Amino acid sequence: MHSSALLATLMAAVASAHVIISYPGWRGNNLVTNETFPYGMQWEYPCGGVGTTKNRTYWPTTGGAVAFQPGWFRGHETAFIYINLGFGTDGPDNGPKDMSNPMLPPVQILGPSNGPYPGTVCFPQVPLPKDANVKPGDLATIQVVEHAVHGAALYSCVDIEFVEPGDSKVAEVNETNCFNSSEIGFAEMFTVATVNPATGKRYDEDSAAKPSASRHLTWLPVLLLGAAWALV
Ligand SMILES: *[C@@H]1O[C@H](CO)[C@@H](O)[C@H](O)[C@H]1NC(C)=O
Ligand SMILES: *[C@@H]1O[C@H](CO)[C@@H](O)[C@H](O)[C@H]1NC(C)=O
Ligand SMILES: *[C@@H]1O[C@H](CO)[C@@H](O)[C@H](O)[C@H]1NC(C)=O
Ligand SMILES: *[C@@H]1O[C@H](CO)[C@@H](O)[C@H](O)[C@H]1NC(C)=O
């Protein structure tokens, strides 16, 4: 009894942040820390130390649900979640060539204020990456990345085969496998516009935007001079 409680505490401490893809499945248990993976498997790019699997799960060609347990958070820890898709099996390890196709904009999640706590996050309708063109039978890999506050990332993947939406091979999505736990919050991520919407150019390369910047620069010494006069 006492030793199992101690073990649970130790496990919770070790598993301070891990990504388990609870829907549509995952490549396999990669919550392992051993001599081969002294920092833990999940820190290994691209799929947390687990190779491409043959037991693929079925997922609709129009996109579908992705649910995961982002781990156990202590304090006010936050993390950024990215969901990417890699196409085909022509890359390393008979998996995708790369995992560089984002499916959702990154989401910031906020752990509970006191923990550790388990929790689930589900996106019921994750779309395909922009400009993706898939048909039933195509193979791909969904990658969930959990970017921790200290900059390193945890990885977990699931290998999928696309099927028509509504195909009975797609596991049902319901409130038992797709829900948001109340102890995990979300924060909006703000992006700063570095492109001038009027010209479509980056501000630092946009000559049309430069005059106003240099005008501010020429006014600055005048203002400082004015301030100096005011002090005299
Ligand atoms: C594939 O098999 C592994 C090993 O048995 C298992 O852990 C994993 O959950 C399976 N993945 C899917 C998507 O069924
Ligand atoms: C560590 O765990 C992984 C995954 O279970 C396994 O493939 C590997 O052989 C293990 N390494 C050692 C040294 O036991
Ligand atoms: C939810 O769907 C899963 C299959 O994905 C099924 O095993 C489970 O029984 C369903 N739960 C309910 C309450 O319908
Ligand atoms: C969970 O929260 C996210 C972020 O607000 C939202 O996009 C998603 O639809 C929610 N999932 C469910 C099952 O309500």
Judgement on whether residues 79 and 170 belong to the same structural domain of the protein? yes
Distance, CA of 37 to CA of 33 (rounded, Å): 5
25-34, 47-56, 74-83, 212-221: least confidently modelled range: 212-221
Residues 123-164 have pLDDT tens digits of: 999 999 999 999 999 999 999 999 888 888 999 999 999 999
**84 and 195 both lie in a single domain:** no
Range of the domain at 73: 4-181
CATH of the domain at 92: 2.70.50
Residue 70: the pLDDT is: 86
114 and 194, same domain (yes or no): no
- Find the residues whose C-beta lies inside 6 A of ligand 1: 25-26, 28-29, 53, 55, 57, 158
CA 162 to ligand 3 center in whole angstroms: 21
Number of domains observed in the structure of the chain: 2
Residues 160 and 107 in one domain: yes
User: How far apart are the C-alpha atoms of 186 and 207, rounded to whole Å?
Assistant: 38
Please check whether residues 53 and 136 belong to one and the same domain.
Answer: yes
C-alpha radius of gyration, the chain, whole number: 23
**CA of 77 relative to ligand 2 center, distance in Å:** 29
Range of lowest pLDDT (37-51, 107-121, 166-180): 107-121
Task: Tell me the three state secondary structure of residue 30.
Answer: coil
Residues 100 and 206 in one domain: no
Mean pLDDT of 93-112: 92
pLDDT in tens, 166-200: 999 999 999 999 999 887 888 766 656 666 767 77
Return the structure tokens found at 132.
């993706």
Cα of 47 vs centre of ligand 1, distance in Å, is: 14
pLDDT per position as a tens digit, 59-96 = 999 999 999 998 765 555 788 999 999 999 999 999 99
What is the three-class DSSP state of 57?
strand
Q: What is the DSSP letter of 42?
A: G
Please state the three-class secondary structure of 187-210 as a single string: ECCCCCCCEECCCCEEHHHCHHHH
